[in-house]
Amino acid sequence: MQDSTLNMRLEFVKGVGPNRGETLKKELGLVTVGDLLTYYPFRYIDRTKFYKINTLTPETQYVQIIGRIISKNILGEKRTKRLVVAFKDDTGLIELVWFQSINWVSDQLVVGNAYIAFGKPTIFNGSFSFSHPEIEPYQSAKQSRGNLTLQPVYGSTEKLKKFNLDSKGLQRLTVSVLDQALAQVEENLPQLILEKYSLPDRRSALLNIHFPKDETVLNSATRRIKFEELFFIQLQLLNAKKLRQQKFKGALFAKVGEKVNKFYTEYLPFDLTNAQKRVIKEIRNDTQTGAQMNRLIQGDVGSGKTVVALMSMLLAIDNGCQACMMAPTEILARQHYASICELIGNELITVSILTGSTKKKDRILLHQQLEEGAIDILIGTHALIEPKVIFKNLGLVVIDEQHRFGVEQRAKLWRKNFIPPHILVMTATPIPRTLAMTLYGDLDVSMIDELPAGRKPIETLHLYESQRLRMFGLIKQEIAKGRQVYVVYPLIKESETLDLKFLEAGVELLGFEFKRPDYQISIVHGQMPNADKQFEMQEFVEGKRNIMVATTVIEVGVNVPNASVMVIENAERFGLSQLHQLRGRVGRGAEHSFCILMSGDKLSKEARLRLDTMVKTNNGFEISEIDLQLRGPGDITGTQQSGVLNLKLADLTKDQNILIEARKTVLELFENDPTLEKPENILLKTFLQQKSQGISMDKIS
C-alpha cells in the first residue's frame, strides 16, 4: 500500500513546522496526516445562507453578510483602541469592530472591496455591529473549500489558537492535505456490506464529513464512519469469541447430579422465577458443548442472582469440579459467603472464604485443602487471583463484577486450570444494552428481568430539607413496627474529613430525635478501623440497633431483610446507579419499604432528573439507560476500558441502532464465511491478523 501522505508527520506538511507540529500532538494527539483526516468536526455552520442587513434582529444568531467596506478607522486610545469598519450592503449599514490584532486586521482590509462577514450581531447605540467577525474577501471565500457550504467547526485549544490553529486554521490545514490524503485512502469494508446498508464509500465519507455540500451527504457520511468504527470493534470482539470457543475446551458438565437435585428439592426455600430458570438452563446448555462458557448475567438488585450462581456452582461440583466466586470488595465477599452458607449450609458441600484479611495460618491450611479438593466452593476477593491459590480442578468461576474487574483479571482466572474454567460474570446493576454489547461483546448475555413474586415495590419519596420532620415521622412509624432504617451520607472524594463532618452533624441531629434507650444507632464510616466497622454492622444485622448511619460503605454490603427504610441524605450528590444500588438494600423482606431521597432546595437540571427518575421507576434497566444518557459511557464504566470505548464519532448513548446493525453484520459475516476466506472478505481477515500481532488475544477478549 502506498501511504506516504497518510503516514506523513504533520510537522512536515507545508506551513506547519516543528512547533505547530508539536502543539498539535500535545493538544489534540494528532501526529500524522491520517490523524488529521480522522479529526472530525464537532459541528457545522450553515454558510449557504446569506442575510441582508435590514433583516437582522436582536435575537439573530451567527449569520453571514455580503457587503462592501466603505471606511475603516482606528479609534480610541490604549484600552479603548479599536478598529471600526463600516460595512454596507444594498439594504443597510453595520459596523465591524476589532479590539485586538487591530493593525494586522486593518492591513488585510481594502476599502471599496467586497467581503463576507460572519458573526453575531449586537446592538450598540441603536445600530447593529459585529465584534471580531470572521471576514474574508468575497472572491477567495467562494473558492475556498467549506466556506460556502456547511462549514466544519473543529475543536481547538487556547494554545493552538496562539499558533493560528483555531477552527478556521484547522480547516485550512485539512484543506491543504485533503486531496492528496484522500487519494490514498482505501476502502476497508466489503462492497456487499456497503451496498446492503447503503453506505457511501470511505473516500467520499471522509471528504463529506469535513466538507459536506449539504445535510444529506453529511448524514450518510456520518453514518458510514460510525458504522465503520462500531463494525471493527464488533469484528474484533466476535472474532475473539469465536477463536476462544475453538481454542479453549471447557469442562463438560454432562450431568445434573446429586447435589443440584438435593439442593433443589430439599434446600431451596422458594420457587425459582421463570427468569432464573431460563438463565440456569442457558448455563446448562453452555456447559454441555465442550467449549468454555463466557456468560454475563444482568439482573436488577434483588432479582436473585446469587441462587443462580450457587446452582451453577453445584452443577460444576456434581461434575467433579470446584467453583469459585470473586467479589470486588471484602464486604461483598463476606456477604456472598453468608448468603451461600445460609442457602446451603455446610453439609452438602464445603464452602470457604479467602480475602485480604484471612490470617496467614488459615490461609496456608486453605491453600492445602483447595489443592487437595477438600473445598468445593471458594468465595473471595481478588486475593483469589494470586498465583499461590491453586485449585485441584477449577471448573467454574463466578465474578460479581460491578464493572470493577478488567478483562486482564478475568483472563488470570482462566489460567488457573489446565482446561480453562467456565466464566459467569454477574453485574450488580444492569448496564445499558449498547454498553454491554461493546464492553462485553465477546460474552453471551443472560437477563434476569423478573423479580421474585410477592415483592412489594419500594415507595420512593423525594423530600426537601423543609420536610425533614416528615422523614423523622416515617422512620419512627417504621421502627415502631419493629423495622430497621438506613441513613446514608455521600462519600465526598475530595475530603474525607468533610464526609465525616456531614455524617457527624447528621448523627447529632438524629441523636436529638431518636434518644437512647428507646433508639439504638449504629454508625459506620470509611475512616473507622475495620474491626469496629464489622462490629457496628453486625449489631445492626442482628437487629440490636434500629438505625444504621453510614457513608456509602453499605452500598454493596449488608443484607438485612428487616430493614424497610433507606434514607439518602444529599441525594443530589449521588449518581443514578448508586442511588438505585442503595435503594436495593431495602425491600428484601416482604414488607412495604421506603426510600427517602433528601435534597437541598436548589437542584441542577441533571440532579432533578436523577431524583425524578428514582421516584418514577424501580426498573434497573430503565435507570441504566437514563444514567448512560446523563453520564456517557466513560463515566459509567469507571475507566476507559482497553480502548474499546475509544470511539471518535460513534456515541454509544445515541447510536444504538447503528451498533445493532454493525453487530448483526459481523454475525452474518462469520456465519457465511467463518474463516473469512472469500475474496471480498480478505481485507477483514488481514485487519484481524494485523490486530492480533499488535494485541494479544487476552487483551481483546
Sites of contact with ligand ADP (CB under 6 A): 270-273, 276, 299, 301-307, 452, 588
What gap in Å lies between CA 598 and CA 466, rounded to an integer? Answer: 10
DSSP three-state, residue 436: helix
Smallest separation, CB 400 to ligand ADP (Å) = 8
* Closer CB to ligand ADP, 416 or 588, in the complex: 588
Least separation in angstroms between residue 393's CB and ligand ADP is 26
Angle at which helices 576-583 and 620-637 cross, to 10°: 130
Which long-range CB contacts under 8 A does 172-176 form with residues at least 24 apart?
173/10, 173/13, 173/15, 173/16, 173/36, 174/36, 174/37, 174/39, 174/210, 175/144, 175/145, 175/146, 175/211, 176/13, 176/14, 176/15
Q: How far is the CB of 586 from ligand ADP (least distance, A)?
A: 12
Q: Which is nearer to ligand ADP, 273 or 381 (CB)?
A: 273
By beta-carbon proximity to ligand ADP, the closer residue of 297 and 378 is 297
Gap between the Cα atoms of 453 and 271, Å rounded: 9
Whichever of 452 and 543 has its CB closer to ligand ADP, that residue is 452
Give residue 549's region: left, alpha or beta (phi > 0; psi -120 to 50).
beta
Task: Please state the closest distance from residue 358 (CB atom) to ligand ADP, in A.
Answer: 23
CB 540 within 8 A of CB 569: no
The least CB distance from residue 7 to ligand ADP, in Å, is 51
From CA 484, how far away is CA 566, in angstroms rounded?
Answer: 9
CB nearer to ligand ADP: give 212 or 304: 304
Q: How far is the CB of 442 from ligand ADP (least distance, A)?
A: 23
In the block, which residue shows the cell 493593525?
103
d(CA 697, CA 677): 21
**Strand 563-568 and strand 594-599: pairing?**
parallel
Closer residue to ligand ADP (CB): 278 or 392 = 278
Question: For ligand ADP, which is the closer residue by CB, 229 or 400?
Answer: 400
C-alpha cell at 246: 475453538
The least distance separating ligand ADP from the CB of residue 280, rounded to whole angstroms, comes to: 11
- Measured CA to CA, the distance from residue 371 to residue 354 in angstroms comes to 14
- C-beta of 376 vs 400, nearer to ligand ADP: 400
- Supply the minimum distance, in Å, between the C-beta of residue 557 and ligand ADP: 12
Task: Supply the minimum distance, in Å, between the C-beta of residue 399 and ligand ADP.
Answer: 13
Backbone angles phi, psi at 664, to 5 degrees: -60, -40
* Burial zone of 630 (CB within 10 Å; 0-12 exposed, 13-18 middle, 19+ buried): middle
Cβ closest to ligand ADP, residue 305 vs residue 545 = 305
Residue of this chain nearest to ligand ADP (CB atom): 304
Instruction: Give yes or no for a cis peptide into 432 (omega within 30° of 0).
Output: no
Nearest Cα to 632, choosing from 435, 497, 346? 435
